[in-house]
Structure 1
Amino acid sequence: MQEILTGLIVALDVVALYLLLPDVKRRFILSLYTGILHMFFPIIGFTLGRWIMNMLLQWSSLISSILLFFIGLQLILSTKNRQIIAIPISILAVTASLDTFSVSISFGMLNLQKYLFILSAGLCTFVLSYISLQIARSRFTFKGDSIKWLAGISLIVISIYTFINSIDNS
């Protein structure tokens, strides 16, 4: 269940970003590309996370908690930087998807179900990013800050939960 929830949480960051882009052409392609990248980056992240876990078995839960905490904090702090720049859709999709890489490193270190997270992140991102781009196109005024705060706080809560569990299991 944690994998599905986190897949949804990483999709919320894209929603917050894409709600600010009313003039995007080829919204379906951008959403599809972003969803695919939200599945590709975690594969790399899980692999790297498992490799790190084998190297740092005793420290993996602590490191994972720290990574998730700072990713969540970064999401919250990014609400202050609201510049809108014309970016090619391929670069926009890669930029919006990079956070799944670092989250999946943490999940790889925790031995969570890789394919469940990857499927959840990809599908949630595709659907929610397409909806966000459609809403942005309609010129409906919506600030993505609250969604970034929700995603950031959720990742921080997961990091604290993971840290507490690692202390209890020690």
Structure 2
Amino acid sequence: MQEILIGLIVALDVVALYLLLPTVKKRFLLAVWTALLHMIFPIIGFTLGSWMVQILMQWSNLISSTLLFFIGLHLILSTQNRQIKPIPVPILAVSASLDTFSVSISFGMLNLQKYLFIVSAGIWTFLLSYISLYIAKRGHRSFKGNSLKWIAGISLISFSIYAFMNN
């Protein structure tokens, strides 16, 4: 169950970013690219995280909790300064998906269910990114991307503390 929830949490950051992009022409393509990358980067991250567990068995929980904590903190602090410039769809999808790589390293180190998280992250990301791009195109500015980043950041920090305390 936690893998599905974490998949939703990593998708929230994309929503916060994509709500600021009202002029994206290929919304469906961007949503597909982002969802696929939210699945590919975790595969790499899980593999690296599992490998690191073999090497750093006694330190893995501390390292993964620290990574999650600082990723969550980064999400919260990134709400302060936002300047979005038009960039190509593939580059935008990669930049929106890179955080799933570092998050998945932590999950690989915690030995969570890899494929459940990957599928969850891909589905949540596709749905939420397409919806947020559609909302942004319509010009609905009542949605605040900052609050979503705060929710995602606090959730990752909470999960890092929970993971640290349970080992």
- TM-score relative to the length of structure 1: 0.97
Counterpart of 2:68 in structure 1 is 68
Q: Distance in 1 between matches of 2:81 and 2:4?
A: 28
Other-structure match for 1:86: 86
SS at 2:166's partner residue? helix
Structure 1 segments (4+ residues) deviating >2 Å: none
| d(CA) in 1 for partners of 2:107, 2:33 | 23
How far the C-alpha of 1:144 sits from its partner, in A, is 0.1
Q: How does 1:149-168 map onto structure 2 within 5 Å?
A: 149-166=150-167
Q: Distance in 2 between matches of 1:77 and 1:119?
A: 28
Fraction of identical pairs, as percent: 74
| Aligned-partner SS, 1:79 | coil
Structure-1 residue corresponding to 2:19: 19
CA deviations on 1:50-90 (whole Å, 9 max, x unpaired) are 00000000110110000000000000000011102001010
The whole-number CA distance in structure 1 between the counterparts of 2:12 and 2:84 is 18
Superposed CA RMSD in Å reads: 0.5
After superposition, give the CA deviation of every residue in 1:118-156 in whole Å (9 maximum; x if it has no partner): 000000000000000000000111320000000000000
Unaligned runs of 5+ in 1: none
Does 1:109 pair with 2:142? Answer: no
Distance 2:29 2:54 in 1: 38
Instruction: Provide the C-alpha distance between the structure 2 equivalents of 1:5 and 1:101, rounded to a whole number of angstroms.
Output: 17
Supply the distance in 2 between the matched residues of 1:98 and 1:7 (Cα, whole angstroms): 14
Residue type matched to 1:136 in 2? A
1:20–1:143 contact (8 Å) kept in structure 2: no
Is residue 122 of structure 1 aligned with residue 122 of structure 2? yes
Whole-Å separation in 1 of the counterparts to 2:81 and 2:124: 25
Equivalent residue for 2:145?
A: 144
- For 2:78, what is the secondary structure of its paired residue? helix
1:23-57 deviations in Å (ceiling 9; x for gaps): 00100000000000000000000000000000000
* TM-score (ref. length: structure 2): 0.98
CA distance in structure 1 between the partners assigned to 2:84 and 2:114 by the alignment:
33
Q: For residues 27-42 of structure 1, what are the structure 2 equivalents within 5 Å? A: 27-42=27-42
